[in-house]
Amino acid sequence: MTAAENVCYTLINVASDSEPPSEVSLKTDLEKGEIKAKTEALKKVITMILNGEKLPGLLMTIIRFVLPLQDHTIKKLLLVFWEIVPKTTPDGKLLQEMILVCDAYRKDLQHPNEFIRGSTLRFLCKLKESELLEPLMPAIRACLEHRHSYVRRNAVLAIYTIYRNFEHLIPDAPELIHDFLVNEKDASCKRNAFMMLIHADQDRALDYLSTCIDQVHTFGDILQLVIVELIYKVCHANPSERARFIRCIYNLLQSSSPAVKYEAAGTLVTLSSAPTAIKAAAQCYIDLIIKESDNNVKLIVLDRLIELKEHPTHERVLQDLVMDILRVLSTPDLEVRKKTLQLALDLVSSRNVEELVIVLKKEVIKTNNVTEHEDTDKYRQLLVRTLHSCSVRFPDMAANVIPVLMEFLSDTNEAAAADVLEFVREAIQRFDNLRPLIIEKMLEVFHSIKTVKIYRGALWILGEYCSTKDDIQSVMTEVRRSLGEIPIVENEIKKETGEVKPEEEVSAAPAQKLVTEMGTYVTQSALSSSRPSKKDEDRPPLRGFLMDGDFFVAASLATTLTKVALRYVAIVSDKKKQNSFVAEAMLIMVTVLHLGKSSLPKKPITDDDVDRISLCLKVLSECSPLMNDIFNKECRRSLSHMLTVRLEEEKLSQKKESEKRNVTVQADDPISFMQLTAKNEMTSKEDQFQLSLLAAMGNTQRKEAADPLASKLNKVTQLTGFSDPVYAEAYVHVNQYDIVLDVLVVNQTSDTLQNCTLELATLGDLKLVEKPSPLTLAPHDFANIKANVKVASTENGIIFGNIVYDVSGAASDRNCVVLSDIHIDIMDYIQPASCTDAEFRQMWAEFEWENKVTVNTNITDLNEYLQHILKSTNMKCLTPEKALSGFCGFMAANLYARSIFGEDALANVSIEKPIHLGPEAPVNGHIRIRAKSQGMALSLGDKINLSQKKANV
């Protein structure tokens, strides 16, 4: 084991800019200084030794002048000093001076102050020299009977570590600790003693647990946690013990400690797959989520519930608990609500869908009454989407859901209203029996719709699905009501000149008071322009949109009027009524055109909207059967086709999901019978406690490539040349939030290299955690140095540095070997993710950093290039497969990914195949990347640039 890999117990921060003091001044302070000066000198000595300085001359000084002092701070510093100071000679024999130290600590173990006794016992846990420990054993044993629990619990820890490292010093430790445990009353002492028995003598631990198994619920939580761990280990090693201890685990689910409940539930699930056990564990998890205030805890426990759901046999048990899971929605945090709704949606079945919908409807209504909070709108959107999914999967529920949701079309939050509108559009197309209800509710809320986008969607639905004479008349009435008195231009000019008094004409022709904001009327009197808010309220919605210059809604209105007019002509046989209705529709279109061409709106009408309205006028004036077919049949057919495609995609993704979860058993697979399984085969299961510990330390076992050696070698970076005096190479191991560099350093000379130090620096959002300690390398010797680097964000980072060393016996200055740069790959932090088109567009508009990358590749196929980019950047393609299939010479696709730090990355690929250059011409075009941070956008652009070209095999 090299010096760099020695076990470290105490970490001390060292100020890098401080000047190291001389050994003489330290010696003077330690000999003659006051207590304060001695304390400071001792701190400096500790710092210097940690930095690799050898100070053998100070050892005896400290023993003579500092060790006898009774000051508590000095004593604590001395414990650190004796931990780090070299205690042996170069040939491995114990230093003579250490005998004096040993005697001092024997006295400290009998000191009347419990703090000194306890901290000395803690220090003894760190000693690795059995010669030092042997004389202290009687004093350590005596500490087990001390009056203070602090001393007793540290005595147990000291005995445990000594027994583990040097069993011959205290061979009867398990028996001694078992007797101590039986008589002990303090919870922390019992926990330490029990922990020792688990690891040193499991049978004794089980014997003790068997004697007090009925009192387990009365123990302290720290002891209960250790008992859960013991039961888990015993039952996994020997399944026949399950029946003996499973009742104890059930009792611990009722513990007052959340940590114990969480561990007990996790253990119960691994020990038993019986429905009662799964239900008890799930119920325990749900209670924890509801009672714990910390959102991180809620999310972690929710993840455990989601893991339970992944098991096919457990899913049915959880379906009965859906209503309990929905209690979690009382949490205000959006992320928790999002996960809860997703879990509930995955568990919904025909048995519980009705109750689920009732709860969600109540939640939706609640969001309406809540004072506006930034997450309320997003939560409402989540609820609407969940209800949408429920209604699509269970059509019987749609009739209950639609009336409640239709109220939200008049919501000021456009996103929630847009989700409702999308749901209504799908429902009215799919469920013929609900059309009258939807049309009726739509006409009710139509006048109160406040946003233009929702207004356009509502107009389209009414125009497409109103098929009876009464409904068509109602649509026309609502349109006239939303438009106010026509012709609009004359009405507005009259109001402006004062011929029509706004107060008198509020209902018939609502007044227009925003005209004052326009350049034409900027010189109006102050009195007139001081009342815009009231007039703004009085103006009908559709006229308001038009006066603001939004004439796209006018084009949508023209299409709707054309559809209903053509349908009215087909339904009503009376020629006079037909002509009257068509004339009214044409009049509305003409007056809107007139308004667009006038100077009254804030923005004039666009040419596209003029063309659309003119086309509709032409269609109505001619009424040809072909146009009738296009307007009234083809539009609906397109929608139907789009919805069918989407449904097929959803079914396909659900099928893939279920195939993943279903465990396939081959015909010739052996069947495992628990009763016939040998004990040694039982232990092959993964130890959950070990896995969670590894995860906490960042050492989770990743799935390596088919050949693990090959994948490791891929991450080795050569840092120096083969002809350099010191050869170095690094294995870069990337954990989630940190990078471990394992650097192999080889001395290629025939000299001894002293103070060989790896000096590193970082560029980007990387931070070096600690400075690697210096080494001494014998001729042609090698050593491994580990360095930790913290990562704060997704950005291309560079680690660079050099190796400096002294040659033994040479008078020259320090030698230096410069290392090659290590580039940290951004791909280790980016994971594919998915989002809706609306979310993608919203993020695209919000993100301020854009990086445009020109396509420069040797790939000649569009689809192949897209797949190559997806593989290189770890992004997910949001554009559906069907939209990308076929060949038309160009392709556009949206890509999305999220980093482990929660940063979003968007990309839009616009590529084409230049056919005029021949079949072998490479793909060209652009990739635009958008991200919230500059680093992410630039790093992703660099990655795409580096990997655009396909490597020739």
Work out the average pLDDT over 935-939: 83
Using the 8-state DSSP alphabet, how is residue 802 labeled?
A: E
Helix or strand run (H / E) with residue 909: strand 904-912
pLDDT digits (tens, 9 = 90+) for 822-868: 887 777 778 888 888 878 888 888 888 888 988 888 888 888 888 88
Work out the average pLDDT over 811-824: 82
pLDDT digits (tens, 9 = 90+) for 216-252: 777 777 878 888 888 887 777 777 777 777 788 888 8
Report the distance separating Cα 566 and Cα 624, nearest Å: 10
Q: Which range in 10-24, 149-163, 445-459, 465-479 is most confidently predicted, on average pLDDT?
A: 149-163
Cβ atoms of 709 and 800 within 8 Å: the answer is no
Check residue 745 and give its pLDDT. Answer: 92
Phi and psi, residue 9, nearest 5°: -100, -35
Query: Which of 276, 183, 282, 265 lies closest to 228 in space, CA to CA?
Result: 265
For 232, the token pair is: 């888990």
- Length in residues, the chain: 953
Is the pLDDT assigned to residue 370 strictly greater than 70? Answer: no
Cβ atoms of 67 and 101 within 8 Å: the answer is yes
Is the pLDDT assigned to residue 505 strictly greater than 50? Answer: no
Cβ atoms of 191 and 220 within 8 Å: the answer is yes
Type of residue at 722: F
Phi and psi, residue 791, nearest 5°: -115, 130
Provide the pairing of β-strand 904-912 with 924-931: antiparallel
Instruction: Give the lowest-confidence range in 163-167, 194-198, 570-574, 702-706.
Output: 702-706
- Other C-beta atoms closer than 10 Å to the C-beta of 487 total 15
Instruction: Give the lowest-confidence range in 7-11, 226-230, 303-307, 874-878.
Output: 7-11
Preceding omega of 487 cis (within 30 degrees of 0): yes
Work out the average pLDDT over 416-436: 79
Report the distance separating Cα 829 and Cα 858, nearest Å: 28
Report the distance separating Cα 477 and Cα 340, nearest Å: 44
Check residue 746 and give its pLDDT. Answer: 92
Phi and psi, residue 852, nearest 5°: -100, 120
Type of residue at 613: I
Q: The domain at 714-824 falls in which architecture?
A: Sandwich (2.60)
Is the pLDDT assigned to residue 813 strictly greater than 80? Answer: no
Is the pLDDT assigned to residue 371 strictly greater than 60? Answer: no
Strands, sheet with 738-747, edge to edge from the N-terminal-most edge strand: 716-718, 726-734, 738-747, 782-791, 766-768
Cβ atoms of 268 and 250 within 8 Å: the answer is yes
Is residue 585 left, alpha or beta, with left meaning phi > 0 and alpha meaning psi from -120 to 50?
alpha
For 187, the token pair is: 């919870």
Helix (H, G, I), strand (E, B) or coil at 533: helix
> Up-side HSE of residue 839: CA atoms within 13 Å toward CB?
14
CA-to-CA separations, 760 to 731, 773, 790, 796, in angstroms, rounded? 15, 12, 13, 17
Query: Hey, where are the domains in the chain?
Result: 348-446, 714-824, 828-948
Query: Which of 180, 116, 173 lies closest to 144 in space, CA to CA?
Result: 180
Instruction: Identify the residue whose tokens are 């703004």.
Output: 536
Q: What is the largest CA-CA distance in the chain?
A: 122
What percent of the chain shows pLDDT beyond 70?
82
Mean model confidence pLDDT for the chain: 77
Per-residue pLDDT band for 596 (boundaries 50, 70, 90) equals confident
Give the residue, 73 or 887, on which the prediction is more confident. Answer: 73
Beta bridge partner(s), residue 783 = 745
Work out the average pLDDT over 546-558: 82
Instruction: Identify the residue whose tokens are 């034409």.
Output: 520
Report the distance separating Cα 369 and Cα 497, nearest Å: 43
Check residue 523 and give its pLDDT. Answer: 34
For 663, the token pair is: 């465990």
> In CATH, which superfamily holds the domain spanning 828-948?
TATA-Binding Protein (3.30.310.10)
Instruction: Give the lowest-confidence range in 272-276, 565-569, 707-711.
Output: 707-711
Per-residue pLDDT band for 693 (boundaries 50, 70, 90) equals low
CA-to-CA separations, 297 to 286, 304, 326, 347, 355, in angstroms, rounded? 12, 11, 17, 22, 27
Per-residue pLDDT band for 704 (boundaries 50, 70, 90) equals very low
Type of residue at 193: A
Instruction: Give the lowest-confidence range in 280-289, 737-746, 766-775.
Output: 766-775
pTM equals 0.66
Q: Using H for helix, E for strand and C for coil, what is the string for 184-211?
A: CCCHHHHHHHHHHHHHHCHHHHHHHHHH
Residues 6+ apart with CB under 8 A from 142: 109, 110
Check residue 727 and give its pLDDT. Answer: 92
Q: Which range in 403-417, 674-688, 704-718 is most confidently predicted, on average pLDDT?
A: 403-417
Using the 8-state DSSP alphabet, how is residue 633 labeled?
A: I
Check residue 728 and give its pLDDT. Answer: 92
Burial bucket for residue 16 (CB in 10 Å: 0-12, 13-18, 19+): exposed
Helix or strand run (H / E) with residue 144: none
Is the pLDDT assigned to residue 676 strictly greater than 70? Answer: no
Report the distance separating Cα 156 and Cα 160, nearest Å: 6
Helix (H, G, I), strand (E, B) or coil at 373: coil
Provide the pairing of β-strand 716-718 with 830-832: unpaired
Beta bridge partner(s), residue 890 = 912
For 747, the token pair is: 């001395």
Core vs surface per residue 711-722: b (16+ CB within 10 A) or e = eeeeeebebbee
What percent of the chain shows pLDDT beyond 90?
2
Instruction: Give the lowest-confidence range in 34-48, 129-143, 284-298, 484-498.
Output: 484-498
The end-to-end CA distance of the chain, in Å, is: 42
Is the pLDDT assigned to residue 215 strictly greater than 80? Answer: no
Check residue 878 and give its pLDDT. Answer: 85
Phi and psi, residue 201, nearest 5°: -150, 90
Q: Using H for helix, E for strand and C for coil, what is the string for 554-606?
A: HHHHHHHHHHHHHHHHHHCCCHHHHHHHHHHHHHHHHHHHHHHHCCCCCCCCC
